[in-house]
A and B are shown apart, each in its own frame.
Chain A
Amino acid sequence: MSSPLPTSSMNLETALIGQALLGGWTITSLRVEVSSGPIRIPTLSFEATDGQQSKALVKVLDLRIDPAAPDELKDLELRLMVFNYQRQLIERLAGERLRGVVRGLQSGSIPFASAPLGRIYFLIVEWSDDDLRSQVALNDRFDSAYALRVLHQTATALHELHQREVAHLSVRPANIVFIAETVKLGEFSCAVDARKPRPDGAPALDWASAPPEFLYQAPIDSMNARCLIDLYQLGSVVAYVFSGTSLTAQLGLKLQPIHHWKRWTGSFAEALPYVQHAFGDVLRDIAPNFPEACRDELIGAVRDLCAPDPALRGHPLNRAGQGLQYSTERYISLFDRLASRLELGIRRVPR
């Protein structure tokens, strides 16, 4: 049987509604992606049920040809390889039963006549109704103690990943999701497993959450360097929770256009003093947004987690040799301690 040619005109989005997958899951509706991310590997997202009121998120690899791709075959091959890399990673993590990470439920492929190559390749992961963005909602700080609990669980999830030699590389509000009142870290399209090189080399990060070393194209060629990106992104989430925007966007705002990564023609080392200066301005601006009862600690956390120079990133004690530089353990304790302090003291009722 010949497969239909993969073309972008195929309407897979609607054709897959009602399609039964493996493990008793059935696609029920298309999910409008609210998260962007660096989509080098295009996927379609659907909602699925298992017939027992359980919902899940289905990601189907989109193999329709991108007319803009310089080499269509190579592009298709790369999509398959990266999707498979992601699938294997999610399966490995699901086997580890991590509490802070969105769990993979099922993966595989099934024949589907109207899909390119005659099959669809899919991943099924836990369903989340909400993410951190809607909690922060831009208009006010949501309950600070609760925010710190979210940060505590995010730091814990990162610790779990780092312990298993996985760098997430996409820690941002859209990927911090709420599943049955538990905070979890989702979206593994950028993640790198230290045990296995990515087929596409280095992942393309979302600029709005990327650290300066990525934007100024410094080499990021070790697991240590990747985990330090996670650290920066964790600090950026801390800033986001209390100020409503990402730290990278705030840096971009403070930099003179000639020093901005989009225009800079020199090396990262040459740009660093200007970035350090912009970072100081950002810290000054966001400091008043942190709850007074733990302002110093939180500013200190953002300062150490988001230090523009990756060599100086991380908790000072870790940098001094007491543990791994990228360890989040001290921040897990810090956020827990601060949350308790607020809960005992100045807790406000969330809206």
Chain B
Amino acid sequence: MTTFADDGARRLIPRWRYSFSTALTAEHMGLARAGNILSPGRDLEDARVRFEDAPALITASELVSSAIVHLEPSRGLDAAQFLLARRSELMPEVIRQAEWITNDPLTIRGPPPISSDANLSSGLDVARRVIATRRIQLRLWPRDPISWLDLARAYAVTGHTKKASRAMDVALQLSPNHRVVLRLAARLAFHLGRADEAYTHIARHPRTKTDPWLMATELAFAQIVDRSPRFARDGYRFVDEARYSPGHLSELAGALATLDLAAGKHRRARGLFRRSLEDPTENAVAQVEWAKRTEPSLVVPQMARQVPNSFEAHYWRARRAGNWAVAVACAKDWLLDEPFSSRPATYGSSIAAMALDDYSAAESFARMGLVADQKDNSLWNNLAVALARRDKPYDAAYAFSRITASPRDSLPRFVANATRGLIAFRMGQVELGRRWYSEADLGASDGDMRKLVLLHWATEELRVDRTRAEVLLQRAGYDEGVVQDPLVAHMRADLERRVGGAGPERKGGIVTDNVKR
């Protein structure tokens, strides 16, 4: 239910993927260094001459090695083929090198695609495999911060938050000044409800004042913890002076644009969003797709739409277009991509329930999100709604009882009251249900929120009292001159059809589509 009110809170917090599925954007490149590029010397050429003079296993292997260290695989191709023709005489590492040379190693390959057949829990399977393999590798070589990051992520996905924290601490100790490690440490702290800590660490780090990626993170977290960003002025200067390549400035420009949008500086925000799309990360594209809800004049170029792993951007696009089945499919891909994040689980469960009446899918989304975060109140609420709709009111009541008075994730009171109303209706306590829905109606502040409460209430009334349902539907009518949220419009149209007698009974209750992270 908090969908629309909270959508304004999308921030450009860093994405977090496993090292083997990360798109290697400019974030993973170094900033330009002073000094000359290392002169390659003559060893590759010499190795080539020796192989041509006397083709043999030794000279071929040396040429292959030399081609690898000079990153010129084409120069070692004939030597690699020479070796592979004598495969049985070679050690495994030599074969591996020769195969690398012949496998077109410099072609930039995107991250592995997410299988359309994958179920929502496959993220858990991957996480378990990562835990097993990384632990073995780290026993062999514990000074590998990237493997510790992978381990931390896998633990976060499986809900082992303390272990995730410990793994992240090790990564930070090993690479206390590395951009990627710093950003992901902040990301994990945020996931664990420690946004203040995340902000402080980034804001105070000496590298932040010179690194556009850390600046972008500082800006995003400053907005989340409601502080005044320290590096906004530097950030504007970096972007204005084009101090780094567009790839390095993409998220910084997007974060500044978000800041401007919140401050009502729409014109500057639009300009910065355009800058963020010059060589964008998928996170920056998602930010623009989200911002298009309030800034429809923003244009996402075709090139930006093709950035790999843009599941969230695709979700926003489908949601804006009212393409609900596609939106749910995108939320699924997004959840498989970021299984520790509650946002795709929340959005997926909301849309599946509210737009598609697919309560089974809504339940799966909510349950998957709760594996990573047992304290997410929105997901417990959505699970309770999905269960109630599946006529499991006692299971729903249990799920609802798991909602805590957590300050980091407080569920809006009117949402909780609406869910109470739904559960009461489904338990047969109609009057009690009406009282809770009435409370929710009074508590909902925003126009769309109130309409959603009424629509859900009307849905339940339709099961017991058609006249009341019609009255409620009328109250949730169109407001002249107000842009309708596609989801509200869709739900009302559907309910109108059924109140008119055309369709079967459906839904009732409130599912939250709460933007949290």
Query: A residues near B, CB below 8 A?
Result: 32-34, 36-40, 133-134, 137-141, 204, 206-208, 210, 215, 217, 243-246, 248-250, 252-253, 256-267, 269-274, 276-277, 279-281, 283-287, 289, 299, 303, 307, 309, 312
Cα A40 to Cα B89 in complex, Å, equals 35
Q: Which 10 A-B pairs have the closest CB atoms?
A: A266-B30, A277-B146, A249-B65, A244-B91, A36-B46, A262-B71, A280-B141, A280-B144, A243-B93, A139-B89
> B68 to A265, Cβ gap below 8 A?
no
Cα A257 to Cα B138 in complex, Å, equals 23
> B43 to A38, Cβ gap below 8 A?
yes
Please, which residues of chain A bring their CB within 8 A of the CB of B96?
A: 253, 285
> B29 to A284, Cβ gap below 8 A?
no
Please, which residues of chain B bring their CB within 8 A of the CB of A277?
A: 19, 144-147
Please, which residues of chain B bring their CB within 8 A of the CB of A276?
A: 141, 143-146, 174
Q: A265-B32, A266-B33, A273-B181 are in contact. Are A39 and B46 (CB under 8 A)?
A: yes
Q: Which of A208, A215, A260, A279 contacts B62 (CB 8 A)?
A: A208
Query: B residues near A, CB below 8 A?
Result: 19, 24, 28-33, 35, 38-44, 46-47, 50, 53-54, 57-58, 61-62, 64-66, 68-71, 89-94, 96-97, 100, 105-106, 108, 136-138, 140-141, 143-147, 174-175, 177-181
Cα A40 to Cα B42 in complex, Å, equals 9
* Interface pairs (19), CB distance under 8 Å: A38-B42, A133-B58, A137-B58, A138-B57, A208-B65, A243-B91, A244-B61, A253-B100, A266-B33, A271-B30, A273-B175, A274-B28, A276-B144, A276-B146, A281-B137, A284-B136, A287-B140, A299-B140, A303-B140
Please, which residues of chain B bring their CB within 8 A of the CB of A40?
A: 41
> A270 to B30, Cβ gap below 8 A?
yes
Cα A217 to Cα B40 in complex, Å, equals 12
Please, which residues of chain A bring their CB within 8 A of the CB of B31?
A: 265-266, 270
Most A-side CB within 10 Å, residue of B42, B65, B145: B65
> A273 to B174, Cβ gap below 8 A?
yes
Q: A38-B42, A259-B28 are in contact. Are A246 and B145 (CB under 8 A)?
A: no
> A217 to B62, Cβ gap below 8 A?
no
Cα A36 to Cα B143 in complex, Å, equals 34
> A207 to B70, Cβ gap below 8 A?
yes
Please, which residues of chain A bring their CB within 8 A of the CB of B58?
A: 34, 133-134, 137-138
> A245 to B71, Cβ gap below 8 A?
no
Most B-side CB within 10 Å, residue of A249, A264, A273, A280: A273
Residue of B nearest to A42 (CB): B42
> B29 to A265, Cβ gap below 8 A?
yes
> B28 to A206, Cβ gap below 8 A?
no
> A138 to B90, Cβ gap below 8 A?
yes
> B141 to A139, Cβ gap below 8 A?
no
Please, which residues of chain B bring their CB within 8 A of the CB of A252?
A: 68-69, 71
Cα A217 to Cα B39 in complex, Å, equals 10
Given contacts A138-B90, A243-B93, 10 further A-B contacts (CB under 8 A): A36-B46, A206-B43, A253-B68, A261-B38, A265-B29, A270-B179, A273-B145, A273-B174, A273-B178, A277-B145
Q: A265-B32, A273-B178, A277-B147 are in contact. Are A284 and B42 (CB under 8 A)?
A: no
> A39 to B35, Cβ gap below 8 A?
no
Q: Which of B24, B32, B69, B144 contacts A207 (CB 8 A)?
A: B69
Q: A208-B65, A289-B92 are in contact. Are A257 and B106 (CB under 8 A)?
A: yes
A220 CB, min distance to chain B CBs, angstroms: 12
Most A-side CB within 10 Å, residue of B39, B136, B140: B140
Residue of B nearest to A131 (CB): B58
Residue of A nearest to B138 (CB): A280
Please, which residues of chain A bring their CB within 8 A of the CB of B19?
A: 277
Cα A40 to Cα B39 in complex, Å, equals 12
> B69 to A249, Cβ gap below 8 A?
yes
Cα A26 to Cα B179 in complex, Å, equals 62
Q: Which of B69, B141, B178 contacts A283 (CB 8 A)?
A: B141
Residue of B nearest to A40 (CB): B41
Please, which residues of chain B bring their CB within 8 A of the CB of A286?
A: 93
A129 CB, min distance to chain B CBs, angstroms: 15
Cα A276 to Cα B70 in complex, Å, equals 19
Q: Which of B32, B39, B46, B106 contacts A204 (CB 8 A)?
A: B39
> B50 to A34, Cβ gap below 8 A?
yes
B87 CB, min distance to chain A CBs, angstroms: 10
Residue of A nearest to B99 (CB): A253
B250 CB, min distance to chain A CBs, angstroms: 16
Please, which residues of chain B bring their CB within 8 A of the CB of A265?
A: 29-33
Please, which residues of chain A bring their CB within 8 A of the CB of B68?
A: 249, 252-253
Q: A257-B105, A277-B145, A279-B141 are in contact. Are A248 and B69 (CB under 8 A)?
A: yes
Cα A256 to Cα B58 in complex, Å, equals 26
Please, which residues of chain A bring their CB within 8 A of the CB of B47?
A: 36
Cα A208 to Cα B177 in complex, Å, equals 29
Please, which residues of chain A bring their CB within 8 A of the CB of B94?
A: 138, 243-245
> B24 to A256, Cβ gap below 8 A?
yes
B469 CB, min distance to chain A CBs, angstroms: 59
Cα A285 to Cα B180 in complex, Å, equals 26
> A38 to B71, Cβ gap below 8 A?
no
B185 CB, min distance to chain A CBs, angstroms: 13
Residue of B nearest to A34 (CB): B50
Cα A259 to Cα B71 in complex, Å, equals 11
B29 CB, min distance to chain A CBs, angstroms: 6
Please, which residues of chain A bring their CB within 8 A of the CB of B90?
A: 138-139, 244
Please, which residues of chain A bring their CB within 8 A of the CB of B70?
A: 207, 262
Residue of A nearest to B141 (CB): A280
> A36 to B43, Cβ gap below 8 A?
yes
Please, which residues of chain B bring their CB within 8 A of the CB of A248?
A: 65, 69
Residue of B nearest to A248 (CB): B69
B226 CB, min distance to chain A CBs, angstroms: 32
Q: A244-B61, A257-B106, A267-B33 are in contact. Are A138 and B91 (CB under 8 A)?
A: yes
Most A-side CB within 10 Å, residue of B28, B91, B136: B91
Please, which residues of chain A bring their CB within 8 A of the CB of B39?
A: 204
Residue of B nearest to A277 (CB): B146
Cα A274 to Cα B177 in complex, Å, equals 14
Please, which residues of chain B bring their CB within 8 A of the CB of A134?
A: 58
Please, which residues of chain A bring their CB within 8 A of the CB of B146?
A: 273-274, 276-277
Residue of B nearest to A37 (CB): B43
Please, which residues of chain A bring their CB within 8 A of the CB of B93?
A: 243-245, 250, 285-286, 289
Please, which residues of chain A bring their CB within 8 A of the CB of B46?
A: 36-37, 39
Residue of A nearest to B107 (CB): A257
Q: Which of A207, A272, A279, A284 contacts B43 (CB 8 A)?
A: A207
A141 CB, min distance to chain B CBs, angstroms: 8
A15 CB, min distance to chain B CBs, angstroms: 21
B315 CB, min distance to chain A CBs, angstroms: 28
